[in-house]
Amino acid sequence: MGVDGQLARLRRELGLPDINVVNVMKRYKDVTAIDRLNLNIRDGEYFTLLGPSGCGKTTLLRAIAGLIEPDEGEICMGGRLVSGLSPEERGIGFVFQHFEIFPFMTVLENVAYGPSIKGEDPDDAEKKVYEALKIVKLLDRSDAYPKDLGASGLQRCGIARALATGARLLLFDEPMGAMDPKIKREFRYELRKIVKDEGLTAVHVTHDQEEAMVISDRIAVMRRGKIMQVGTPLELYYQPNSIFVANFIGEIDFLDGFCMETGKKGCAVEIRGELLLNTCDQRWKKGDRLVVGIRRENFHLELGKRIGRNKLPGIVKRSVFVGPYVRHHINLENGYTVAVKEPSGMAHSLSPGIEVTASFRPEDALVFEYPENLIDEMALD
């Protein structure tokens, strides 16, 4: 282990960030792909960049990789500035959605290609290739050709090649984009396990919220070239810092109104139709204009019209059976629409036109300040 290795260990022990993105800006003509962005990724972390298409996540990944140079700002890795360094010099392995695997080479030859072009000692190279194939569980398929591997096998081959070059930082650009959902579900556990077991650092780009939630230690939610929030999957789900993040991850409905009461337990919000919603949020004062978000699985459904706090009476528009759950779309009396997700085993059987009441617990209300432009805040681009 050289100086770099010792530094890495020290950083890990001290919990220092391994990758620092400082004030990075990248423009393409009139479009700002990344807008003065700052980000720390820790050593040994499985970190995901999540956001709608066109939000700049791939551009950011490419800047970290050294495939593009930012117009402004700096990127540091392991405490040193990497501007102007190639991906190889940065010690990075890159795995794309569309596997950059040579079809005319066997798995072994593909994996050995990395170290051999680096001109390593053949014995060392062989050992590294063997180790890499072992890690991705392809040792017994080393003589197979890529066409016989299947989507997850190809990606494992790509990872092995990156590992064989000695990369400690893996960058994944939609690595499961071309996979069937079932295979994806298996592969994401494998991928995380490889990264964690080997003590690697991973930066993963995806547009798939579920994938991000399951695979990551932390996630950065991006929008329009900026980072909206960084947090663990549960933090993002239960403590979103903005309407955009709350809306982007999971299913949610929003109601807006004014803060009417404040108390020790939280505030009550009056929405259209003189309905009062109790929340556990204490940050607001009387008269504040607020937006209340309720996750669709947190609604509780009753038949008939009920009156009272946190009760939203309405009429069933339609119910859609989606397998593990049923989604009921409800037109509320006050003009809003909400949807309620019920587990299908215990779901109400409702025909359109039936009167129901959706209610929720105060602790399940997510409260936000009413933004300047609510429609724009909720837009998905």
Partner 1 sequence: MPEVELVDVSKSFGRVKAIDHLSLRVEDGEYFTLIGPTGQGKTTILKLIAGLVKPDEGEIYINGKSVTDLPPEDRGVGFVFETFSLFPHYNVWRNTIYGPQVRAEDLEQSSRVSQQLLDMVLLGRRTAAYPRELSGGMMQRLALARALATGSKILLLDEPFGSLDAKIRMSLRNEVQMMVENLGLTAIHVTNDTEEAMTISDRIGVLRRGRIIQVGNPEGLYKQPKSIFTASFLGESNFLEGRIKEVTRGGFLAEVEGRKTLSISDPGKWKRGDRVVLVVRAENVAITQGKPRRRNTMQGIVERSQFIQGFMRYEIQAEEGIDLVAWIHTSRGESYLRGSQVFINLEPTNVLVFPYPEEGLEQAISFE
Q: Which residues here bind partner 1, judged by CB under 8 A?
A: 28-29, 31, 50-54, 58, 151, 174, 177-183, 185, 189, 207-210, 213-214, 233-234, 237, 247-251, 295-298, 300, 320-325, 327, 341, 343-345, 379-381
Instruction: For partner 1, give the closer residue by CB, 74 or 251.
Output: 251
Instruction: For partner 1, give the closer residue by CB, 259 or 292.
Output: 292
SS3 331: strand
Instruction: For partner 1, give the closer residue by CB, 122 or 343.
Output: 343
Q: How far is the CB of 297 from partner 1 (least distance, A)?
A: 4
Instruction: For partner 1, give the closer residue by CB, 114 or 231.
Output: 231
Q: How far is the CB of 270 from partner 1 (least distance, A)?
A: 25
Q: Are 188 and 214 in contact (CB under 8 A)?
A: yes
Q: How far is the CB of 101 from partner 1 (least distance, A)?
A: 17
Alpha helices by DSSP H, 23-149: 57-65, 107-117, 122-135
Instruction: For partner 1, give the closer residue by CB, 198 or 210.
Output: 210
Q: How far is the CB of 78 from partner 1 (least distance, A)?
A: 30
HSE, CB side, 13 Å, CA atoms: give it for residue 163: 28
Distance CA 158, CA 374 (A): 43
The dihedral through the CA atoms of 1, 65, 222, 174 has a sign that is negative
Burial degree of 349 (CB within 10 A; 0-12, 13-18, 19+): exposed
Residue 226 identity: K
Instruction: For partner 1, give the closer residue by CB, 282 or 337.
Output: 337
The angle, 0 to 180 degrees and rounded to 10, between the axes of the packed helices 181-197 and 150-164 is 20
Q: Tell which residue, 258, 358, 263, has the closest CA to residue 305.
A: 358
Q: Are 146 and 157 in contact (CB under 8 A)?
A: yes
Q: How far is the CB of 321 from partner 1 (least distance, A)?
A: 4
Q: How far is the CB of 253 from partner 1 (least distance, A)?
A: 13
